[in-house]
Amino acid sequence: MNSYALISLTDKSGAVEFARFLEQRGVKILSTGNTAEVLRDSGVAVTAVSEYTGQPEIMDGRVKTLTPKIHGGILARRDSAQHMQDLQALDAGPIDYVIVNLYPFLQKVRETINAGDPEHQSLIEFIDIGGPAMLRAAAKNFKDVVVLIDPKDYPRVQLELSSGGKISLELRRELAAKVFTFTAAYDGAIARYLSLNEKLVNAEGKAMTLGGVENFTLKQSQALRYGENPHQLAALYEIANTTSAPELKQLQGKELSYNNLLDADAAWQLARELNQVAASEPSIAIIKHLNPCGVACGKTLLEAFQAARACDPVSAFGGIIATTSTLDALTAQAIIEGFVEVIIAPKFAPQALEVLAQKKNVRVLQITDQLYSQGELTPRLVFGRILLQENDAALVDLTQARQVTKRKPKPQELTDLSLAWVVCKHVKSNAIVIAKDGKAIGIGAGQMSRVDSSRLAIERAQAQGFDVQDAAAASDAFLPFSDTLEYLAAAGIKSLVQPGGSIKDEDVICRADELDVAMVFTGERHFRH
């Protein structure tokens, strides 16, 4: 009785090579549609599923694999005489390999939303029926069937077949578990879509994914040495069947820790948003314990790094550095002259990697150039429950914000206010950030009083020799009284950006006019707890 492999793929990476490998081992290849064409054009002998089953595809391809010959070949227990007799009666053989991946439903949801399609009718056709049915059947019968949903697993199967002639039960079980993890998340994505239906886009045109979340599936991708402290266990998990996560590669260095990952993510989020205020200039963000301790833009990346480190060189020691432009060799050399835990960037010049290799323990991360999108979820654990909110992706353009005082910000003041506002968004509340000449010079984070945050920001700036005269400042929340404004103005700060919205706004505006401080209201708040 022939052994068959059924191949039906959206992602055809490595499929031709793997099909040839199976063919050389005497396995007959069954396939459908475009996958069959790709394999056939590459010289693989392929039997179309419709030819094998004797039943043509119907209903525009909606029904093609849902037949007894296909599912019998997958589900038949090889140690059951009755099952094998039933297969013979069907004139069918055992399908020992099921190699299937599915229409990218989540990706299509996002593409449809971004295209402004209010009906979303086309998405229905991207709900795969036959694929999940075959995958689940094969995963159920994993003792007899090898099921593959991820092209990255092809080499593992090839290695075991080449070295021992068979696939271990451990690998079969692992591949089956991977399938059920994926199909659970896939079904969850469809359930979320159907539960939201026309509400996928809210009144402001924003993609809404929060209201329909009823379940999601987590998959452990990496065990960590420990959590925030050595006595705490920790691991990194992926949300199965998501297309929003940027690709992250560790190019060198020690194993990433829990705290490294938290700080690297914080650094990357800040660095990415710097592009919105300084798109034409290289930017650097330095993070320590989830708070920015140095941020700057410059004509060169080296200039930006030197300015960022100068903001608080003591805190920058052992920090996490992120840039959104290619890291060059000169900047890499300057970075490793001090102690750094993690460097994260979208690209690294080959010469920069050679420089960084001198410090083998430095963790070097390359990340795809992708900004966290509005609508993605940020989880926190409270009272044994998961608290979810949309990611804070809002960021107002200060050129469009309300200039509420008699004196309007000068061009350089507006530039510095924009930088301070971006940085302030990423500082723990209460947050005050002082910026001047394209760089942050003082950061006050996590104080219970906003006046104390102002005092801390000014003291840190002055401790590094910065002149705060004519600098710009940002506050993450509105000023309920004029005390913070007065404290900043007394130090020489001449422009301030804040959300506005206090019942005392008019009093604060009048006081700013008296102090000759230009003030801008954004209308958006950025608490960070």
Positions marked active-site: 140, 289
Give the separation between CA 484 and CA 434, rounded to whole angstroms: 13
Contacts of 305 (CB under 8 A, 6+ apart): 284, 296, 298, 321, 323, 331, 334, 335
Give the separation between CA 473 and CA 461, rounded to whole angstroms: 12
Check: CB of residue 374 under 8 Å from CB of residue 391.
yes
- The dihedrals phi and psi of 192, each to the nearest 5 degrees, come to -65, -40
The angle formed by the CA atoms of residues 355, 328 and 425, to the nearest 5 degrees, is 115
Sheet architecture: strand order including 95-100 = 46-48, 28-31, 4-8, 95-100, 146-148
Give the separation between CA 159 and CA 163, rounded to whole angstroms: 6
Give the separation between CA 15 and CA 516, rounded to whole angstroms: 69
The angle formed by the CA atoms of residues 461, 463 and 464, to the nearest 5 degrees, is 70
Check: CB of residue 102 under 8 Å from CB of residue 127.
no
| CA neighbor of 292 nearest in space, from 267, 257, 264, 275 | 267
Is residue 171 within a helix (H) or strand (E), and if so which, with residue range? helix 169-196
Give the separation between CA 243 and CA 40, rounded to whole angstroms: 30
At position 236, the amino acid (one-letter code) is L
